[in-house]
Amino acid sequence: AAEPSAPAPSQEPTAEPSTAPTTEPTTPAPSETATQDPPQPTAEPSAPAPSQEPTAEPSTAPTTEPTTPAPSETATQDPPQPTAPAEPTIVSRADWGADESLVADPPSYLDKVDAVFVHHTAGTNNYDCAESPAIIRAILTYHVKTNGWNDLGYNFFVDKCGTVFEGRAGGVDKPVRGAHTYGFNGYSSGVSLLGDYENGGTPTAAAKQAIADISAWKLGLHGVAPEAKVTLTAAGDTGVWNTGDKATLNTISGHRDGYATLCPGATLYSALPEIRSTAGASIYTS
């Protein structure tokens, strides 16, 4: 199929500055998606120190087994250690054909992902899922060449068949800073569903499950429950919050919860309570 054209300007952010501003604008105009917040440290957080484990097991078994062992001689077992949740299937940038020559600068990282914001791309709903990689390639070109951004704004994409795609580069399991929810990019990851859910589109069951699963997994990497709430400090005037406001949000929220926009569309936004409960029950919830 022919590669879809880039989304119309009215459906995408107005601009992300090529260099992050030192101050936030006071009254950003509402738009379908949001722009970049102030810069964060570019260093990736160091790995946590490994937990303490026994240094060795006995080299030989006892020659006799006492019939009534004393309590001090009875071996005890440590409680099981928590394991990271299984990773959902994610189509890599290489597999969907990202043009990495468009990305000039390395990614920057957050200290932690406290929330996931759900978006829609506001493009056509009449696509075949085999076209999803081409749609994402077109969005990458648009975000870089038209908006002047370094890379895709979203951390993940989901299509109507429930396929999850890697968005902004830097590692799907890393807290990569995106450009998706103005005022809250410093705390969150962004997941965008291909299509328009404000003007008649309805998210499929597969898409809702995929959004729930990727959100549960991403939050679980940082010990955040997908059905919880979190209080975040707004880094800019968003039309919903003023700079410095303490915003209490769901850990899985819609774009409009943080920024004055129609995104992620009426039908997808109304599905968020279901998505949160599905995420709470997801096999990817840690």
For residue 229, pLDDT over 80 is answered with yes
Report the domain count for the chain: 1
Apex 88 CA angle, 82 and 91, nearest 5: 145
In a domain, 153, yes or no: yes
Q: What percent of the chain has pLDDT over 70?
A: 70
126 lies in which domain range? 89-99+109-280
Burial of 8 (0-12, 13-18, 19+ CB in 10 A): exposed
**Residue 188: CATH number of its domain:** 3.40.80.10
In a domain, 17, yes or no: no
Query: pLDDT tens across 170-224, in order?
Result: 999 999 999 999 999 999 999 999 999 999 899 999 999 999 999 999 999 999 9
Query: pLDDT tens across 252-284, in order?
Result: 999 999 999 999 999 999 999 999 999 999 999
In a domain, 61, yes or no: no
- Give the best-scoring range by mean pLDDT among 21-25, 80-84, 105-109, 282-286: 105-109
In a domain, 116, yes or no: yes
User: Measured between alpha carbons, how far is 261 from 250 in angstroms, rounded to an integer?
Assistant: 17
Dihedral angle at the C-alpha atoms of 89, 255, 14, 141, nearest 10 degrees? 10
Mean pLDDT of 18-32: 37
For residue 245, pLDDT over 60 is answered with yes
Query: pLDDT tens across 88-134, in order?
Result: 999 999 999 999 999 999 999 999 999 999 999 999 999 999 999 99
Residue 86 has a pLDDT of: 85
User: What are the start-end ranges of the H helices in the chain?
Assistant: 93-96, 132-141, 205-220, 255-258, 266-270, 272-280
Query: Which has the closest alpha carbon to 189: 96, 110, 280, 102?
Result: 110
Q: What secondary structure letter does DSSP report for 79? A: P
Asked whether 118 and 255 are in contact (CB, 8 A), the reply is yes
**Across the strands, what pairs with 268?**
none
Q: pTM for the full model?
A: 0.74
pLDDT range class, residue 286, cuts 50, 70, 90: confident
* Mean residue pLDDT across the chain: 80
Query: pLDDT tens across 152-165, in order?
Result: 999 999 999 999 99
**What is the CA 213 to chain-centroid distance, rounded?**
11
Residue 78 has a pLDDT of: 56
207 token code pair: 């898409």
In a domain, 74, yes or no: no
Give helix 205-220 / helix 272-280 axis angle, nearest 10°: 50
In a domain, 113, yes or no: yes
pLDDT range class, residue 1, cuts 50, 70, 90: very low
In a domain, 182, yes or no: yes
Question: Which residue is it, tokens 């939050």?
Answer: 219
Q: What percent of the chain has pLDDT over 90?
A: 69
User: Measured between alpha carbons, how far is 123 from 58 in angstroms, rounded to an integer?
Assistant: 63
For residue 226, pLDDT over 80 is answered with yes
Q: Quickly count: other Cβ atoms within 10 Å of residue 10's Cβ.
A: 9
- Mean pLDDT lowest among 50-54, 71-75, 90-94: 50-54
Residue 54 has a pLDDT of: 32
Residue 32 has a pLDDT of: 46
In a domain, 197, yes or no: yes
